Chains A and B, each alone.
Chain A
Amino acid sequence: MNKVENNKAWFLVLPMLVLVAFSAIIPLMTVVNYSVQDILGRSAFFVGSEWFVQTLNDSRLQSALMRQFAFSFTILAIQVPLGIAIALLMPKKGWQASAVLILITLPLLVPWNVVGSMWQIFTRGDIGLMGYGIRQLGYPYNITRNATDAWVTIIIMDVWHWTPLIALLCYSGLRAIPEAYYQAARIDRASKWAVFRYIQLPKLTNVLVIGVLLRFMHSFMIYAEPFVLTGGGPGSSTTFLSQTLATMAIGQQDLGPSAAFSIIYFLIILAVSYVFYVTIMNMQKDKAENNAGGA
C-alpha cells in the first residue's frame, strides 16, 4: 500500500478560496472583529464575550426575537397552505394560465419599501381604501394606536407580498407531475384528497423545502416593510430584529453589541433553516429500511 500522495490538486481550489474569502469570510470576520472589541475612536479594547453576554441578556432584544419568531411562524403557517391551495386552483394551460401567472407574480415585483408605502396609504383612516372601509363598517381600525391592528395588517401585507412565491413554486412542482399519476389514481379510485395527499404533496416536497427556507429566511430578516408601514410601532409592538439591530448599529453607534447581535442573528437563521431542512428530508426517509438494517 504505497500510495503516492499528490497534493498539488489543492492549489486548484485556491481561486475559489480567494473568491469565497472576499465574498463571505472577510466581511464576516470584520463583524467578528467588532463583536469582541470595544472601539472608541482610535482606541480599541479586547472585551472577549462581554458583548455577547450583554446582548443575550438584553430584554429589548429578547422581546424582539420573540416577536420575530411569532411573525415568521405565523406567515409560514398562512403562506404555505395558501400558496399550495392557490397553485392547485390555478388553470393548467391556455391563455388563462398565462393571465393568472402574471397577476399572481405582480406583488413579487414591487420593491419592499414601496410595498410599505402602498400599505401605509391603503390603511389610512382618512384616504386609505382599506382603513376607511373598515372604519365605515364600525370598527375603529388604527394601526398607529392599536398593536393588534398593526400586527394583523403587517401579516396581511406580507401574505399579499410573498404568498405568490410559494404559489409559483408549487405551480411549477405540480406541472412536473406526469399525467400518468393522475390517470393511475383515477383507475385506483382515489379520492381528490388521496390524490393530494399521496401524489401531489409528496411530489411538492422538494419545492416546498426551497419555499419554506426562502420564506423563513426572508421573513426573519424583514425590515423595510414594517419600518415604512408602522415604524415599528405602536410602541415597539412591531419592531422586529432587523430594525432593532439597525437602531443599535446606526442610531446609537453601538458597534460592538450590534456586531455580537449580528452574529447571534446569523446563527439563529442558520440553525432554524437547518432544522427545517433536516426535518423535511427525514420525512421522506425509508423508516422500515433503516430498522431492518437493509434486509
Chain B
Amino acid sequence: MAEIRLRSLAHTYEKDPQSPEDYAIREMEHVWHQGGAYALLGPSGCGKSTMLNIISGLLEPSHGEVIFDTRIVNELSPQERNIAQVFQFPVIYDTMTVFDNLAFPLRNIKTPEHLVKPRVHEVADILELTPLLKRKAKNLSADEKQKVSMGRGLVRDDVSAILFDEPLTVIDPQLKWKLRRKLKQIHEQFNITMIYVTHDQLEASTFAEKIAVMYEGQIVQFGTPRELFEKPAHTFVGFFIGSPGMNFLDIEVTDQGLRYGDITIPVSEKRLAAARASSSDNIRLGIRPEFIHVWDDRNSEAFEVRVKDMEDLGTYRIMTFWFGDALMKARLHEDQRIPQKKAYISFPEQWLNVYIDEFRVEVDDE
C-alpha cells in the first residue's frame, strides 16, 4: 500500500534531447493517492505506457523522482517495488498449469506451500478461474489468459499498486464489460491503488474515480469523469472526451468583446477580463455540443445559423451547422423540434470556456 508521487519527472528516449518534442514525458508533478482507482487516458504515443513503466520500474526516468510514500524508488528494480503490472497481451507461463501460474509470484518469494494454496484458491475464486486451475495455461482463451495475468498481480498481498496497460485490448466486447466490473469489484475488496492505462474514454470513465488525461507527454487534466466533461482544462481534453468533441472558435479580443469574424459572443465579465489581460493571440472559445442551446423560434438572444446536416443517432440527434465560416455541432434530444435549414442557437455563458494558449481560464465563480 502506498502513495505514488512523481516529482519533476521527465523522460526521454533520446541521448541528447534538444526540444520538448524529444521528451516522451515532459516535466510534471503528480500524485496517485493510496487506494484510488485511476485511469490514464490518452491517444497512442502520448507517453502513457512510458509513465506506467517508470512507475513499475521497468524503465528508469531520465529526470526527476518516483516516490512511494516517503521512499525514492528510482534505483529500485520492479522486483523490489512491490508493483504488479498487467500487460496489453496476456503473459502466461505456457508450461505451467493455471494453479502454478497463479502460485508463481508467491513461490518466487519462497512462500511456504501451505500458504500458497489457500491464497491461490482465494484469487481463483474471485476471478472465476477455479474450474480451470488444473488446466495448462497455454490452452486457455484470451480472456481467461488475461484473467490469469491479473491473478498473478492479485495473489501477492504485498503489492502497493496494480498497473494495467490496456489490459482488455484482446478481449471480446461482451467480456470486456464483465472483466471491467470484476476489476472494480476487486478494487473495492482489496483497497489497492490501481492505475489503468487506456485510450478508450468509456473504459476509463467506467473504471476510474479520477482520470488523468495525457497529451504530448503531459498530464493536461486530472479529474473526475464529470469534471473532464464539464470543465475540460485543456483544448485536447475537450476534443478527446465526449462524442462528438468540443466545438472551438478562434476569437479576437476587441473593445466590444470577444468576436468571431463579425459576430460578438457574449461572455461573462471575468472571462472577458482574463482574455483582455492576456497578451497571447491564441484565444479560443470552447463549448460542448450538449450545452449549445437550440431554440425553437427566432429570439433576441439567439444567433441565426445555417444547418448543414442532421444525424439521427437513435436517442438523440447531432446537428452540424455553419457559425460564420466555422462548422459546429450541437446535440438535440429526441423530442426536440428539428430545425429546417435555419436554426436559432445560443451559447449559455456558464458552459462557454475561454482557452488561452490551449489552457482553460479558470474563473472563481464556479
- Interface residue ranges of A260-280 to B (CB < 8 Å): none
User: Is A81's beta carbon under 8 Å from chain B?
Assistant: no
With most chain A CB atoms within 10 A of its CB, the pick from B77, B83, B85, B95 is B95
Chain A residues with CB under 8 Å of B94's CB are 202-203, 284
Verify B93–A199 contact, CB threshold 8 A.
Answer: yes
Verify A198–B93 contact, CB threshold 8 A.
Answer: yes
CB-contact partner of B91 in A181, A286, A292, under 8 A: A181
CB-contact partner of A189 in B56, B108, B153, under 8 A: B108
Verify A194–B108 contact, CB threshold 8 A.
Answer: yes
* Per-residue A-contact encoding for B268-291, CB less than 8 Å = 1, 0 else: 000000000000000000000000
- A to B contact number (C-beta, < 8 Å): 68
User: Is B109's beta carbon under 8 Å from chain A?
Assistant: yes
User: Is A281's beta carbon under 8 Å from chain B?
Assistant: no
Verify B136–A183 contact, CB threshold 8 A.
Answer: no
User: Is A66's beta carbon under 8 Å from chain B?
Assistant: no
| Closest chain B residue, CB of each to CB of A191 | B108
Given A186-B58, A187-B85, A188-B152, CB of A288 within 8 Å of CB of B134: yes
Verify B93–A286 contact, CB threshold 8 A.
Answer: no
CB-contact partner of A288 in B79, B87, B105, B135, under 8 A: B135
* Per-residue A-contact encoding for B87-114, CB less than 8 Å = 1, 0 else: 1110101111100000011001100000
**A178 to B89 Cα, complex, angstroms:** 10
- Interface residue ranges of A156-209 to B (CB < 8 Å): 178, 180-181, 183-184, 186-191, 194, 198-199, 202-203
Verify B77–A180 contact, CB threshold 8 A.
Answer: no
Verify A292–B134 contact, CB threshold 8 A.
Answer: yes
**A189 to B109 Cα, complex, angstroms:** 7
Verify A288–B97 contact, CB threshold 8 A.
Answer: yes
Chain B residues with CB under 8 Å of A186's CB are 58, 77-79
User: Is B8's beta carbon under 8 Å from chain A?
Assistant: no
Chain B residues with CB under 8 Å of A189's CB are 79, 105, 108-109
**A286 to B96 Cα, complex, angstroms:** 10
Verify B93–A187 contact, CB threshold 8 A.
Answer: no
User: Is B138's beta carbon under 8 Å from chain A?
Assistant: yes
Verify A202–B95 contact, CB threshold 8 A.
Answer: yes
User: Is B149's beta carbon under 8 Å from chain A?
Assistant: yes
Chain A residues with CB under 8 Å of B254's CB are none
| Closest chain B residue, CB of each to CB of A283 | B95
Secondary structure at chain A's binding surface: helix, strand, loop or mixed?
Answer: helix
User: Is A289's beta carbon under 8 Å from chain B?
Assistant: yes
**A284 to B138 Cα, complex, angstroms:** 9
Shortest beta-carbon distance from B167 to chain A in Å: 12
User: Is B139's beta carbon under 8 Å from chain A?
Assistant: yes
Shortest beta-carbon distance from B129 to chain A in Å: 14
Given A180-B87, A284-B95, CB of A188 within 8 Å of CB of B104: yes
**A176 to B293 Cα, complex, angstroms:** 56
Verify B135–A289 contact, CB threshold 8 A.
Answer: yes
* Per-residue A-contact encoding for B135-153, CB less than 8 Å = 1, 0 else: 1101100000000010011
Given A190-B104, A198-B93, A199-B93, CB of A288 within 8 Å of CB of B58: no
Verify B108–A183 contact, CB threshold 8 A.
Answer: no
User: Is B214's beta carbon under 8 Å from chain A?
Assistant: no
**A213 to B213 Cα, complex, angstroms:** 54
Chain B residues with CB under 8 Å of A178's CB are 89
**A287 to B149 Cα, complex, angstroms:** 22
Shortest beta-carbon distance from B317 to chain A in Å: 44
Verify A180–B88 contact, CB threshold 8 A.
Answer: yes
User: Is B84's beta carbon under 8 Å from chain A?
Assistant: yes
Shortest beta-carbon distance from A205 to chain B in Å: 9
Shortest beta-carbon distance from B130 to chain A in Å: 12
Chain A residues with CB under 8 Å of B134's CB are 288, 292
**A176 to B31 Cα, complex, angstroms:** 37
Chain A residues with CB under 8 Å of B139's CB are 286, 289
Chain B residues with CB under 8 Å of A295's CB are 131
A selection of 19 A-B contacts at a CB cut-off of 8 Å is A180-B89, A180-B91, A183-B85, A186-B78, A186-B79, A187-B79, A188-B108, A189-B79, A190-B104, A194-B108, A198-B93, A202-B94, A202-B95, A203-B94, A284-B138, A286-B136, A286-B138, A288-B134, A289-B135
6 nearest interchain CB pairs?
Answer: A184-B91, A286-B136, A288-B134, A188-B105, A180-B87, A189-B79
Residues of A within 8 A of B (CB): 178, 180-181, 183-184, 186-191, 194, 198-199, 202-203, 284, 286-289, 292, 295
